Structure 1
Amino acid sequence: MTDCSDNDIEVLDDMSVMDESLFDGSVYESDEGDDVYFDNVEAGSSNKKSYQVDFISHSTQDLQDTQDKQINQVSSVLGLQNIEAAALLRYFQWNKEKLFERYTEAPDKVMKSAGLKSISEPSSTSSTTTTTSNSLPLKRVKHQYTCEICFDDDADMEFTALNCGHHFCNTCYEHYLRQKILEEGESRRIQCPQDQCHMVVDEHTISKLVDNKIKLRYDRLLNRTFVDDNDAFRWCPSPDCEYAVECHIPSVSLISTIPTVECGQGHKFCFGCSLSDHQPAVCSLVKKWLQKCKDDSETANWISAHTKDCPKCQSAIEKNGGCNHMTCRKCRYEFCWVCMGPWTEHRSSYYACNRFDEKSGTNARENQAKSRASLERYLHYYNRFANHEQSAKLDQDLYKKTERKMQEMQETSDLSWIEVQFLKKAVDVTVECRMTLKWTYAFAFYLEKSHQTEIFEDNQRDLEMATEQLSELLDKPLDEENITQLRQNVLDKTVYVKQRREILLDDTLNGLQEGRWKFFIEL
């Protein structure tokens, strides 16, 4: 692990041109003055850091194409229609290996379980009705059908029946499908309307019976089930974002990896728990920390540290005045706040409040001291956690100020709009580091004290100092005469801050995978 001292910070501040090896695709100014701006490192590329994971972002169309590819593959291998292959894949939650294995062993059983017509089962559709596939809308030709929902048998009505042979008029069928799709949000296994019938209504039948609005909703639900059923896919948790991310990280790896991914709209989140990026804390630690912050356990800690129990009824009492003569509001018992003895003894020859009773006083004082120490430790880490969270939110306001500063800089210098983008990127880096620092305090709260802990805290300190310095640079008012120097200082500091973050995350991840970190909780 690399460590940098305060002297390193000053050296970097004074550098006019930095070594290219420090940038890793970030910002580099060549001797000719050409700028190479911060390009995000693609996961899976040769520039991938040790704390990054491989992932692929998928749009809605990408998801549909992926499904079609798998459906065509299964259809080709098993010799089935695409509609049947799609139903089988959804039944097996898109696990092709499991599907092939089960189908090879007992094809009829698999087809029946998935709500499809068995391979050896003849179609129940009468020869006097027209049909071209497993299930299509049927128009009565010679036979008189009766709808099994409305019991109408009008000769001009059109009926639909699956291979199970249960006939329903198209009006009732459409109403049934509308309710299933719009109201119940069902798409994967919409079954025949007949009670106790498990035949699945296929996509072709649904397309024939419903209007475009319902069909669009149906297709979206199918896409959602594809992602929900597949452990390697997650929907982006950002509101109204329809991108999904594919990442092949097994759940057992989540105790030593923080799989931060990014959707096609630039939203970063953790693939393991779908929360916002929380590097360097693993998902289970984040869950415990957030629960601790919400829990009433800390309220109980405060009560234990700042209140005492009535010696008679055990009600919690807080001292709200200078007098030590306490009267419990619940049972009206009078006692001394200092020694917890009866107040009556404090007006007689039995007064002994000034004497310490080793046996009775030690445990109570030790327990209260422990509660107070535990509370102070928690507040130390929580206050810093909350401070960086709040600072990151306030830094969001910097974007508007920065945009105005960029316009002003462009007007008062010979810099182009592209050349002043370094300011926006500096704000991006600042906010990103704030969020990383925020979670370092949750991580540190559960760490057991050791030499490794001191190394972590040193990296944390260096990143915190560098982030504050960059934030101060961004807050400075624009001086027209020093624009060139300001630009160079911001570029240098931005790169240094990014480097410090990478060092911290890299060392933390390696420590997790090597088992160097010891926690006083079970992850």
Structure 2
Amino acid sequence: MDSDEGYNYEFDEDEECSEDSGAEEDEEDEEEDEPDDNLDLGEVELVEPGLRVGGERDGLLGGETGGLGPGGGGGGGGLGGGPGPGGGPEQEEDYRYEVLTAEQILQHMVECIREVNEVIQNPATITRILLSHFNWDKEKLMERYFDGNLEKLFAECHVINPSKKSRTRQMNTRSSAQDMSCQICYLNYPNSYFTGLECGHKFCMQCWSEYLTTKIMEEGMGQTISCPAHGCDILVDDNTVMRLITDSKVKLKYQHLITNSFVECNRLLKWCPAPDCHHVVKVQYPDAKPVRCKCGRQFCFNCGENWHDPVKCKWLKKWIKKCDDDSETSNWIAANTKRSRAALQRYLFYCNRYMNHMQSLRFEHKLYAQVKQKMEEMQQHNMSWIEVQFLKKAVDVLCQCRATLMYTYVFAFYLKKNNQSIIFENNQADLENATEVLSGYLERDISQDSLQDIKQKVQDKYRYCESRRRVLLQHVHEGYEKDLWEYIED
């Protein structure tokens, strides 16, 4: 293809690419006459703070309190669907964000409910259901609430209008001494052992508890649990769940499901994608910018992938999907069509280089351990702790360069040939050569005779790598600003 004249992607026939690639009922009735501003979700007793109770996205209470700070290093911004601002990591300090624990998110959710309740004056648990129906968009809820058709609104949200609750309760009042038959287990109990929602359907507390536990723990349902009665779509409120569930783990899981829904619906919030992390990043405005969690994970706020400068989210998403699809069908394509074989060769050229840098990054912890040992050896040769810190700095730069190079091959795969793409290829090749030289320096054995020489070479080379990486990123972002890049729609 014309777009790849600057590359030589010949390969052996056997070359392949693969990717490895969360009180009594009567007393309660009296209390419900007034709006309840307190949500029981905040009163759950925590159990096993380190336990991951849901899927990967389930939040957990506990952890460090995040601080307001600039975006983490690692590249420039503006990698969303449209052109992004130029510059590298030095220009990202204006992107402010906050790292929060799930407990802080819960407090934020309760505050949001309280703000709405100051206007509409409903029980907090009903307001939470209304907000959830509108994806926590307060403005949309307010607009619908005051459009004059409250009955339609409450019906859409599957809740009973709080103003009609007292009349419903009077219609369903029975003597506490009278026995009733549960319509689930068909056992007879005193009326006091039964409870239900404002729809009037009552079941024994044991069946309620088992029903809610199954919905929460096995089906992962939180905000959409409906009344157990056949054909009834009235949703179970939070206070009812917390009153009828006795298992603290089930309560915690329910809290996580509600909190997770709040985060997923809020465009200013994003869970950290690290598997064992329970923090949430809160930004002032959503954008494809780098953010760093308290756990150390740096990711793109827009797409949630590892920070991927200089390629945009759109192209990275297509690339990941292509890698997943082509890894299973590449052999069949190569064997059956000559035209597809040429496309496969081109894909494997970029994929192999992408994967090479990815594999190198996966040995990052091993490399840091090796360098730490070398730093200790150098201190035994009369060098101070301060004097040997250049080695750690060199590894930091090496890893940054490999991450950048890895994503340049994704960017290049979709790039059409023009004069600017030639400049990009030259910058890419220069950075790649310098990165490999730096890697070679760090792998050498260190003796007392070569100590000062290797220190000077390593320092000179990592400074050069930093400079070339900055030049490459600045050029790509300049192309975004000036609309210089043309893409191959794969």
Taking structure 2 as the reference length, what is the TM-score of the superposition?
A: 0.73
Aligned partner of 1:133 in structure 2 is none
Tell me if the contact between 1:385 and 1:439 (Cα under 8 Å) persists in the aligned partners.
yes
Give the corresponding residue for 2:113.
71
Q: Which residue of 1 aligns with 2:186?
A: 151
Separation in 2, partners of 1:208, 1:498: 59
User: Residue 286 of structure 1 aligns to which amino acid in structure 2?
Assistant: L
Residue of structure 1 equivalent to 2:169? 125
Equivalent residues, number: 404
Change in 2 beyond 3 A, CA 1:407/1:78? farther
- For 1:121 and 1:128, locate their aligned partners in 2 and report how far apart those are by CA, in whole Å: 13
CA distance in 1, matches of 2:467, 2:290: 18
Secondary structure of the residue that 1:218 maps to in structure 2? helix
Aligned to 1:206: 241
Following TM superposition, by how much is the alpha carbon of 1:437 offset from its aligned partner in structure 2, in angstroms? 0.5
Say whether the 8 Å CA contact 2:216–2:250 is kept in structure 1. yes
Which of 217, 228, 235 is 2:253 aligned to?
Answer: 217
> Secondary structure of 1:204's partner?
helix
Residue aligning to 1:242: 278
Q: Assess if the C-alpha contact under 8 Å between 1:140 and 1:158 holds in 2.
A: no
Is the 2:177–2:190 contact (alpha carbons within 8 Å) kept by the matching residues of 1?
no
Stretch moving more, 161-170 or 502-511: 502-511
State the distance in 2 between where 1:126 and 1:96 align: 33
- Seen in structure 2, the aligned counterparts of structure 1 residues 214 and 103 have a Cα distance that, compared at 3 Å, is same
The reply to whether residue 269 of structure 1 matches residue 299 of structure 2 is: yes
AA paired with 1:125? R
AA aligned to 1:90 is: S
Q: Which amino acid aligns with 1:111?
A: F
CA distance in 2, matches of 1:207, 1:261: 35
**DSSP 3-state at the match of 1:121:** helix
1:465 to 401, 423, 433: 433
**Contact map agreement 1:55 1:248 (CA 8 A) in 2:** yes
Q: Is 1:62 equivalent to 2:104 in the alignment? A: yes
Q: Whose radius of gyration is greater, 1 or 2?
A: 1
Cα distance in 2 between the residues matched to 1:386 and 1:102:
51
Q: Displacement, 1:90?
A: 1.4
Kindly indicate whether residue 353 of structure 2 is the aligned counterpart of residue 384 of structure 1: yes
The within-5 A match list for 1:193-342 is 193-210=228-245, 211-247=247-283, 258-293=288-323, 294-295=325-326, 298-299=330-331, 302-303=334-335
2:83 is matched with none
Unaligned residue ranges in structure 1 (runs of 5+)? 1-40, 130-138, 306-367
Q: Name the aligned partner's letter for residue 453 of structure 1.
A: S
Is the contact between residue 268 and residue 276 of structure 1 (CA under 8 Å) also seen in structure 2? yes
Separation (CA, whole Å) in 1 of partners of 2:127 and 2:443: 60
Over 6 Å off, 4+ runs = 44-47
State which drifts further: 179-188 or 403-412: 403-412
Q: Which moved more, 1:209-218 or 1:293-302?
A: 293-302
The amino acid of 1:208's aligned partner reads R
**Partner of 1:175 in structure 2?**
210
Q: CA 1:143–1:76 in 2, change beyond 3 Å: closer, same or farther?
A: farther
Q: Which whole-Å CA distance do the structure 2 matches of 1:239 and 1:516 have between them?
A: 38
Contact (CA 8 Å) 2:273, 2:304: kept in 1 or not? yes
CA contact (8 A) 1:128 1:143 kept: no
1:228-265 residue CA offsets vs partner (Å, 9 max, x unmatched): 22333332222222223335666xx7xxxx53333221
Q: Deviations over 1:124-146 (max 9, x none)?
A: 224996xxxxxxxxx96355443
Structure 1 counterpart of 2:304, one-letter code: S
> Counterpart of 1:429?
397
Q: Distance in 2 between matches of 1:260 and 1:376?
A: 33
Task: Tell me the equivalent position of 1:454.
Answer: 422
Does 1 or 2 have the higher relative contact order (CA < 8 Å, sep 6+)? 2
Distance 2:388 2:205 in 1: 63
Q: Is the 8 A contact 1:109 1:118 kept in 2?
A: no
- Distance in 2 (alpha carbons) for counterparts of 1:231 and 1:380: 37
Q: Residues 280, 148 of structure 1: CA spacing in aligned structure 2 closer, same or farther, 3 A cutoff? A: same
The AA in structure 2 aligned to 1:114 is C
- Secondary structure of the 1:57 match is strand
Query: Which deviations, in whole Å up to 9, do the C-alpha atoms of 1:263-282 show, x marking residues without a partner?
Result: 22111233333333322122
**SS of aligned partner of 1:125:** helix
How much does 1:375 deviate?
Answer: 4.9
Q: CA deviation at 1:94?
A: 0.9
CA distance in 2, matches of 1:100, 1:236: 31
